[in-house]
Amino acid sequence: MTNDDQRFFKNLREEYRAPQLIAADLNDDPLLQFDQWFQEAVNFPCPQANAMALATADRNGVPSLRMVLLKDVDADGFTFYTNYGSNKGQQIQENPVAALMFYWHELHRQVRIEGSVAKVPREVSGSYFRTRPFMSRIGALASRQSREIADRETLRERCETLAKEYDGKDVPLPEDWGGYLLRPEKIEFWQGQENRLHDRIVYVREDNRWKKQRLSP
């Protein structure tokens, strides 16, 4: 790295200005608090507010990270969909814990979530799958996610073949595709503040109840 490169990175700096995050003002239920922040991010608007980083690890603890989309959140936790044979699906099978992170730059906010992961019932996956656009369903049927493929043309041709086969028909839910539910054990709300004195409020589940506390930035 040259001196010019170093100066460039040092100048990539932004001051955060936002109302103070006060623990007593937050909902005692972190899932309800998340829902409030999520709606504020959608309404602001923050582009693709449901995009989240998903971290998993294999049986040896080797981590992997990628972006996925939140498709549902309720009292049980956070739901996303993927190919069960993908790298993340294999890691979840080996080591069924994961972490999520949302970052809404426009609001200077982030939310970090940790917990256990399990597949949702197949009927839930099927119900969501039927709401997807036709070609998205075809894509899920055509792709062996994370597996080596000769070239893009091969994938395109497979999609075209399946699109013709299922034209005007119901596209079946692939056997290796469906949803996962992350049941949170820890949820942290982060609000950027001036001089890097950020607000961090974390909820930890203890004896099936949530404990709320402030962390040093």
Catalytic residue numbers read 196
- If DSSP codes are grouped into helix, strand and coil, which group holds residue 195? helix
Give the integer Cα–Cα distance in Å for 113 and 15: 25
The answer for residues whose C-beta is within 8 angstroms of residue 211's C-beta and 6 or more apart is 203, 204, 205
Pairing, β 199-206 against β 177-191 = antiparallel
Give the integer Cα–Cα distance in Å for 129 and 81: 9
Closest CA to 96 of 171, 180, 197: 180
Q: What is the 8-class DSSP label of residue 169?
A: S
